[in-house]
Structure 1
């Protein structure tokens, strides 16, 4: 079954339409009864990509590899981990990762699985498929070389799993869902004219309904200062469960993130989710600002991963590390909290959530 999607704006592949709108007949997850589960639901695996870009990690590539390995081994204590690796890095990756992580040969140019790997969706019978968003290296940057736009195809081919191609640019780090029909994102990222020129909020709400099964979108304004992705929500706010959002809390009025935090609080204070429930906020302290190569890193405890039975979160050698871990344990009392020093990741532009992508439990839908 196909759906006719009508969007006002510029198609990321075909350019501007003649009459201001374009319509695309496509087979979509919604037409096949699939929706995106919450991250805390049971997983079959976690997908990662071995770091290979010296330009990205700005002099800390060896340290980043050590951190990737520590994150992967920590997750592997709770669920299977698959690491995509360039053939020439196979021995290096195997030596650092050990036997607990499964290596998969692939062509990789960067290492942010959250954005280049597929977003998985599932139907009520437990059948799983993947969405391949248009990925252009975060859209707003001039692309000077290849990016991992083919990563979703490689993973879904490895899984012999159905692939839905989306007609618009999106990165996994720009959205969070509660598994009950609610999604949170930022205007700064999604309405970026260098990603999907001319798209409106209404357009995205239609697309999220069509591809992820979303009924309600919570729009925040901006992401954190220093975020190279220009406003990914997974560094600012995330769902802990339906109705509860964890929010990065900046309390310094002289910090640019203070206004971001205050605006997010105001927007969420009057918000309700897809089930009609008022949104609650749990605040996580923001670590003190730190710079790498003269640029501020977008440090945040919000950017964590939820494997089966655990939370894998960052530490920054900051006084707030222990407090953030304690709050996380209060919010997730039945999960083991594992904290990993993560400054090398943030020097490259992201955190633990950015380098991981969950595959929910279920049986693969066969390819079309």
Structure 2
């Protein structure tokens, strides 16, 4: 049976967490392995920032654990030895759901390294079931390739995603849009799917929505926008804004849209980096926000101000967003929340 038939649904990310899971980076799988020390330092900052708000379980290859235990001290950080190829747990980790009685379960999606871009990925595809086995959590095996960063829910039946990612033939070439929708409805128990068109320019995930837009509350969406017509993201964000302005959610509400101006364009070597304030992460009582400094300093402050005004009861905890971005992701991409049972 599907989770929906048993009354399970995915809560919104801002609901209370038991803990955050994060995978430790693997030098051999990095795009820029010589930058491992900087990546390591970036992850240390991120884990410590999250641990200010809630417990963190670090998924680590066994040979890293002894060194990690020397760095991290405190009851909010523990370690789970699971071999993995790469560190983006948002995409290969389990998606936690719960039923009306507050009982937790999780979805084990098929992971194929963002359309078979990075090989091998066999260990990453086994991470979610190993986490769930360790914590003795009921598991639903979904027969569809899906990454956690490719969708966002409001907890009241509405889901945001992009056509660029979920309809990409490198994921599920035999599935129509209607069948993809049905899988999302059956496993996440949503009723309405809002399909944005494309993700940000240069995003190697093929347009993950967690760089583009997310729910701030039911009926309220935050979106990163571009005001420069010469920038590739201008047309992308204008088209997505038009879709949101014409959309209604599962409760029939028109959406309130909160705009955050994108950081200035950043390149490394010949590639555009996918710098996004929307790759923030909800934690208990706060938000972990990547900021980028340098030419983005003014935009950083604007993003902080927008989020603080949107979430007056949450602490906006900033971290260095440039630390790991060259590897293709940021705060939200690295994290996966375990929801609290009711």
What is the alpha-carbon distance in structure 1 between the residues aligned to residue 259 and residue 232 of structure 2?
17
What is the alpha-carbon distance in structure 1 between the residues aligned to residue 27 and residue 160 of structure 2?
30
| TM-score computed with the length of structure 1 as normaliser | 0.89
Is structure 2 residue 307 aligned with structure 1 residue 328?
yes
User: What secondary structure is seen at the aligned counterpart in 2 of 1:138?
Assistant: helix
Counterpart among 179, 192, 204 of residue 228 in structure 1? 204
Counterpart among 292, 295, 320 of residue 316 in structure 1? 292
What is the alpha-carbon distance in structure 2 between the residues aligned to residue 273 and residue 71 of structure 1?
33
What is the alpha-carbon distance in structure 1 between the residues aligned to residue 69 and residue 303 of structure 2?
32
Counterpart among 3, 6, 15 of residue 41 in structure 1? 15
Is contact 1:140–1:192 with CA below 8 Å preserved after alignment?
Answer: no
Decide which structure has greater helix share. 2
Is structure 2 residue 336 aligned with structure 1 residue 357?
yes
Counterpart among 50, 66, 70 of residue 75 in structure 1? 50
> What RMSD, in angstroms, separates the aligned Cα atoms of the two structures?
1.3
Which residue does the alignment assign to 1:337?
Answer: 316
Is structure 2 residue 245 aligned with structure 1 residue 269?
yes
Is contact 1:53–1:109 with CA below 8 Å preserved after alignment?
Answer: no
What is the alpha-carbon distance in structure 1 between the residues aligned to residue 303 and residue 71 of structure 2?
28
**Residue 98 of structure 1: CA displacement?**
2.9
CA deviations 1:223-261 (Å, max 9, x no partner) are 011111111000011000011111011111111111111
Equivalent pairs, count: 337
User: What secondary structure is seen at the aligned counterpart in 2 of 1:211?
Assistant: helix
1:173–1:145: structure 2 CA closer, same or farther, 3 Å change rule? closer
Is contact 1:269–1:279 with CA below 8 Å preserved after alignment?
Answer: yes
Question: Structure 1: any 5+ residue segments left out of the alignment?
Answer: 1-26, 364-368
**Residue 140 of structure 1: CA displacement?**
4.7
| TM-score computed with the length of structure 2 as normaliser | 0.95
- Larger CA deviation: 139-148 vs 188-197: 139-148
What is the alpha-carbon distance in structure 1 between the residues aligned to residue 161 and residue 68 of structure 2?
34
CA deviations 1:303-347 (Å, max 9, x no partner) are 011011000010101221111001110011100000001212211
What is the alpha-carbon distance in structure 1 between the residues aligned to residue 147 and residue 210 of structure 2?
11
Which residue does the alignment assign to 1:15?
Answer: none
Is contact 2:42–2:320 with CA below 8 Å preserved after alignment?
Answer: yes
